[in-house]
Chains A and B, each alone.
Chain A
């Protein structure tokens, strides 16, 4: 697989798996309004994943669904940050906030990059991410002085660094106001990914090749 496809899959997998994780709050978010908003953001992330998979699919001669669902867990290229099963609101918001900050650094780089097709898609994704960032920053601002939230941010910080390439990490540290530390790198998967994968691909595996 060429470098471009690998890069596309890494970002697409991040978006798909985080979208899936965030959608686990549907029906049980802290308030009704947040439930709707959080679910909608999760759907947006999955929409971004689809667009990125489609680009990768044309490169690899397959389709978006096959990339999203037909690979084995160890073939996914997502960062460990998005795999974690975090059913605690402080951790969930800490992850959303850190991910959005990291994603912004990544999207800015893609928009400024040589790959015109990917730069165009990044700009399109960025217009939606603007509102995701507003949402994340609003929550982070509100919870900033809560020890539970601060602990969660600190705990997830090495994972957040793992979302980005090493040369992009100082920018993330500057934005978030934390020191650089050793990252939980992309490539190593948590056991939580396999659990998620089992659930996520269950229907598709039940009838391989079916059209929906």
Chain B
């Protein structure tokens, strides 16, 4: 599994969840010979201060990267900047009889 350097090591990308229920965010990476070493090293590097609820270790090769974008016609109307959505939300909430998140 995965591309290895001359010493037989590979890169594991590390994703960190700070609290239960929160999304995992990319934290960095570790270079390790296998998943067991990656586990031991990432545990110390990204969790020794109790800063992580959980980690995901992903061989870099397993990450499918997307970098090419086709946006030839400058479709500005797909973007929401310029629209005031606040007022519409207020009206919709009034109609539905629900409070805004955080107001309850």
B10 within 8 A of A: no
Nearest-neighbour CB distance to chain A for B13, whole angstroms, equals 14
Given known pairs A31-B31, A33-B30, the reply for A138 and B36 (CB within 8 Å) is yes
Q: Is the CB of B41 within 8 A of A34?
A: yes
Residue in B36, B41, B48 whose beta carbon sits within 8 Å of that of A33 in the complex: B41
Given known pairs A40-B48, A138-B37, the reply for A33 and B32 (CB within 8 Å) is yes
Residues facing B in A12-60 (CB within 8 A) are 31-34, 36-37, 40-41
Q: Is the CB of B33 within 8 A of A142?
A: yes
Which residues from chain A contact B43 at a C-beta distance below 8 Å? 37, 131
For the complex, what is the distance from the CA of A130 to the CA of B89, rounded to whole Å?
52
A135 within 8 A of B: yes
Residue in B30, B32, B40, B45 whose beta carbon sits within 8 Å of that of A135 in the complex: B40
Nearest-neighbour CB distance to chain B for A119, whole angstroms, equals 25
Nearest-neighbour CB distance to chain A for B50, whole angstroms, equals 12
Nearest-neighbour CB distance to chain A for B42, whole angstroms, equals 8
B32's closest neighbor in chain A, by CB?
A: A33
B44 within 8 A of A: yes
B33's closest neighbor in chain A, by CB?
A: A142
Size category of the B interface is 10 to 19
Nearest-neighbour CB distance to chain B for A33, whole angstroms, equals 4
Q: Is the CB of A33 within 8 A of B31?
A: yes
Q: Is the CB of A37 within 8 A of B41?
A: yes
Nearest-neighbour CB distance to chain A for B65, whole angstroms, equals 23
Which residues from chain B contact A32 at a C-beta distance below 8 Å? 31
Which residues from chain B contact A135 at a C-beta distance below 8 Å? 40
For the complex, what is the distance from the CA of A131 to the CA of B39, rounded to whole Å?
10
Residues facing B in A98-114 (CB within 8 A) are none
Nearest-neighbour CB distance to chain A for B64, whole angstroms, equals 25
For the complex, what is the distance from the CA of A138 to the CA of B37, rounded to whole Å?
7
For the complex, what is the distance from the CA of A40 to the CA of B44, rounded to whole Å?
7
A34's closest neighbor in chain B, by CB?
A: B41
For the complex, what is the distance from the CA of A34 to the CA of B7, rounded to whole Å?
15
A134 within 8 A of B: yes
For the complex, what is the distance from the CA of A135 to the CA of B30, rounded to whole Å?
15
Known: A37-B43, A134-B36. 10 other contacts (CB 8 A): A32-B31, A33-B30, A33-B32, A34-B41, A37-B44, A37-B45, A40-B44, A131-B43, A138-B36, A142-B37
Which B residues fall within an 8 A CB radius of A?
30-33, 36-37, 39-41, 43-45, 48
Enumerate 26 A-B pairs (CB-CB under 8 Å) in ascending A order. A31-B31, A32-B31, A33-B30, A33-B31, A33-B32, A33-B41, A33-B45, A34-B41, A36-B44, A37-B40, A37-B41, A37-B43, A37-B44, A37-B45, A40-B44, A40-B48, A41-B44, A131-B40, A131-B43, A134-B36, A134-B39, A134-B40, A138-B36, A138-B37, A142-B33, A142-B37
Q: Which 8 A-B pairs have the closest CB atoms?
A: A33-B41, A37-B44, A40-B44, A40-B48, A135-B40, A138-B36, A33-B30, A36-B45
